[in-house]
Amino acid sequence: MSEAINFHYVVDGDDFTSAGEASVDIKRKLRQLGVDPAIIRRVSIAMYEGEVNMVIHAEGGTVDVNVYEDKIEMILSDEGPGIANVELAMKAGFSTAPDYVRSLGFGAGMGLPNMKSYTDGMEIDTKIGVGTTITMVVNLK
C-alpha cells in the first residue's frame, strides 16, 4: 500500500462553539487533494459529529485523518469516561448529553448513528475510565 497522507488535529474540549474547526479544515484539505465532493461531505459530517461528541463527553481529544489511495481513515481518540453501553449509544435518539448541549442544537442522540451511516466502516474501542477510540473508514473506490 502506498504511503498515507496524514492530518493531525487537537480538539479543544473547553470550547463548544469551536467544535468543527478540524472538520471544516479537513474539508478544505480534501478539496485541494481533488477528492469527490460527495466523499468530502460524508467525511466532514462524520468527523464533525465525532468532534462534537469529544467536546460534550470527553473534554476534547485528537483526530488523525489518513488519506490512502483507496480510502480515507479517521481515528478519533479521547481520554474521556468511555461508553458504558455501545449498543445503546448507537441507537438513534439515545443521548447522555447534558441539557445545555440541547440548547445548542445537539444532544439529539443522532451523533453515532450519523457517523455510522455516513461511513463505510466504523469501529468503537472504548474502556470505562480510560477513553474511547473510534475508527471510521470511507472508501474512495
- CB closer to another protein out of 86 and 128: 86
Query: Which of 20, 50, 61, 80 is in the footprint of another protein by CB under 8 A?
Result: 20
Q: Kindly tell me the burial class for residue 19, based on how many C-beta atoms sit within 10 Å of its own C-beta (0-12, 13-18, 19 or more).
A: buried
Closest CA to 24 of 8, 45, 10: 45
* Residues 117 to 136 in contact with another protein, rule: CB under 8 A: 117
Question: Does 39 sit near another protein (CB under 8 A)?
Answer: no
Provide the edge-to-edge strand list for the sheet that holds 131-139.
Answer: 5-12, 60-67, 71-78, 131-139, 121-127
* Residues 54 to 83 in contact with another protein, rule: CB under 8 A: none
Task: By CB under 8 A, name the binding residues for another protein.
Answer: 16-17, 19-20, 23-24, 27, 37, 41, 44-45, 48-49, 52, 104-106, 108-111, 113-114, 117
